[in-house]
């Protein structure tokens, strides 16, 4: 009997705390301010920007922006709610643009090359903004801006194996795991 009372008291106390912390809504919500234009963000080889336009409008602008920057062999595919555009640049680097719907804004993510290309990604997002009308008109570049990043794992500027492993190469061979004294 004592156990039932304590459970009931705990449930009542939990409900009271929840009601006290959340409060009650006495007024209807007012529409907030319209989404402001936010510039592109760049991290880990990807550029991301949200556009306060309908999904279909952004979808059309992406195709035009890819054509403006001379991206070839553009293919589209659907992955759940996201639409993915895949193509290649003039110098045969892969371009992937992902469009995700949102509430009031569509999110566009772009990756150029394996390790990213910030100027090309920024130019692509700017062309999408120009085609949507959120940016002032600008001429289409005859040569798309590009600064591909080097491979951070197998770079020509990497330390050579001869230099990195010189201590092991200069150390005499031992057939025992026991250190020499």
pLDDT band at 27 (very low <50, low <70, confident <90, very high): very low
Q: pLDDT tens digits, residue range 72-85?
A: 999 999 999 999 99
Distances (CA, A) of 177 to 68, 167, 168, 174: 63, 17, 15, 8
Query: What would the pLDDT profile of 110-137 be if each residue is shown by its tens digit?
Result: 999 988 899 999 999 999 999 999 889 8
What is the pLDDT of the chain when averaged over all its residues? 78
Domain positions in the chain are 55-132
Sign of CA pseudo-dihedral 166, 172, 178, 181: negative
| Spatial CA neighbour of 73 closest among 88, 93, 59, 63 | 88
pLDDT at 9 over 50: yes
Tokens, residue 89: 């640049």
Closest by CA to 99, choosing from 122, 123, 77, is: 77
pTM summary value = 0.64
Give me the phi and psi of 38, to 5 degrees please: -110, 135
The CATH code of the domain at 55-132 is 3.30.160
Residue 127 or 26, more confident? 127
């Amino acid at each position: 009997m004592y156990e039932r009372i304590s459970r009931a008291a705990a449930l009542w106390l939990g409900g009271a705390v929840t009601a006290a912390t959340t409060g009650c809504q006495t007024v209807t919500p007012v529409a907030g301010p319209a989404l402001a234009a936010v510039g592109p963000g760049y991290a880990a080889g990807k550029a991301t920007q949200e556009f306060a336009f309908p999904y279909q409008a952004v979808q059309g602008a992406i195709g035009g922006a890819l054509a403006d920057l001379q991206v070839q062999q553009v293919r589209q595919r659907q992955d759940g709610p996201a639409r993915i555009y895949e193509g290649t640049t003039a110098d045969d680097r892969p371009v992937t643009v992902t469009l995700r719907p949102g509430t009031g804004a569509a999110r566009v993510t772009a990756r150029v090359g394996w390790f990213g290309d910030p100027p090309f990604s920024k130019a692509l997002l700017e062309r999408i903004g120009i085609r949507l009308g959120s940016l002032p008109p600008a001429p289409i570049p005859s040569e798309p801006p590009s600064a591909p990043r080097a491979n951070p794992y197998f770079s020509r500027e990497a330390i050579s194996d001869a230099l990195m492993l010189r201590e092991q190469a200069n150390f005499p061979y031992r057939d025992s795991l026991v250190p020499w004294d």
